Amino acid sequence: MTKKFLMICVCVAAVCFSLVVRAEDNPRLRYANTFSKQINQDWTIFLYSEFNTDYDPGHDLNGIDNELGFVYSGVAKWLDLGAAVGHWDEKDAGDWEGRGQTFQYVFGTLKWSGFGVDVSDRNRFDFQFPDHRTEDGQVYRNDLVLAPTYKWTRYKIQPFIGDETYYGFLARHLTTNELASGFNFQITKNIGASIFYMNTQSCSKDTDGTKHWKNQPRIGFTTSVAF
């Protein structure tokens, strides 16, 4: 089992490295943190905060996302349901004033384990997407994550690969695809973290229907704190 796990780690690391090498020289950076509190066996509340930088050499902060929501796990072991309200703020020409917007979303996450793999499939519907993506209108997001069930060392290191697609109902086509790979690990009993590389492909559509895809690399670090 250890040999198989090490092989998986090597493969994922190779994929991460190859993607970074092929990406642009100056990727964006992201840091995100989730505070969560389990109220009882079925209910959990969470606060998610995300900070993104631009491409410029200084990697100045240009986007902040804060979300407050809940997760209900009482329907079935393989299903989580939830909802949240968020606030997105983006810098425009060096100015934050007047760029913030509130949005709401609901989601359902399907969970399954088998053949040595943990599978998570989150289906999320945004009622009102932030200003920087208003051309998409309301948005459906599908986030599929695969990870081996085995975790390595006392830090519970676990490689993963994920892909999140965005469908804009106003745009009427897939507008974004985010392919990510990296490692989850446990810092303490209540604090987890992950390091990942993500390649974001955004799609624009001409009046004649021609689609153009643009690659946007990103390196990220996330933490999670459970109470």
How buried is 2 (Cβ within 10 angstroms: 0-12 exposed, 13-18 middle, 19+ buried)?
exposed
CA distance 12 to 221: 16
Q: Please state the pTM of the whole predicted model.
A: 0.85
- Model pLDDT, residue 25: 56
Find how far residue 81's CA is from the centre of its chain.
17
How buried is 104 (Cβ within 10 angstroms: 0-12 exposed, 13-18 middle, 19+ buried)?
middle
CA distance 131 to 161: 29
Structure tokens at 128: 């009102």
* ∠ Cα 15 64 84 (to 5°): 90
Q: Greater confidence, 132 or 76?
A: 76
- Amino acid present at 120: S
How buried is 182 (Cβ within 10 angstroms: 0-12 exposed, 13-18 middle, 19+ buried)?
buried
Looking up tokens 């004649």 gives: 208
At 9, is the pLDDT very low, low, confident or very high (cuts 50, 70, 90)? low
Computed over every residue of the chain, the mean pLDDT equals 84
At 18, is the pLDDT very low, low, confident or very high (cuts 50, 70, 90)? low
pLDDT digits (tens, 9 = 90+) for 98-121: 667 888 999 999 999 988 899 999
pLDDT digits (tens, 9 = 90+) for 126-169: 987 654 555 557 899 999 999 988 888 999 999 999 999 999 88
Instruction: Provide the domain limits for residue 72.
Output: 2-226
Structure tokens at 14: 């190779």
pLDDT > 70? residue 185? yes
Among residues of the chain, what percentage have pLDDT more than 70? 77
pLDDT > 60? residue 216? yes
Among residues of the chain, what percentage have pLDDT more than 90? 49
CA distance 117 to 150: 8
CA distance 204 to 147: 31
Evaluate the CA torsion angle 38, 43, 47, 52 in order and state its sign.
Answer: positive
CA distances from 63 to 49, 132, 178, 179 (A): 11, 10, 17, 20
Structural domains counted in the chain = 1
The helix or strand, by DSSP H or E, that contains position 218, with its residue range, turns out to be: strand 211-226
What's the length of the chain? 227
- Model pLDDT, residue 66: 95
pLDDT digits (tens, 9 = 90+) for 81-102: 999 999 988 877 667 666 678 8
How buried is 188 (Cβ within 10 angstroms: 0-12 exposed, 13-18 middle, 19+ buried)?
exposed
- Model pLDDT, residue 54: 75
- Model pLDDT, residue 161: 92
- Model pLDDT, residue 207: 67
Q: Which of 51-55, 116-120, 181-185 has the lowest mean pLDDT?
A: 51-55
Q: What is the CATH number of the domain that holds 87?
A: 2.40.160.40
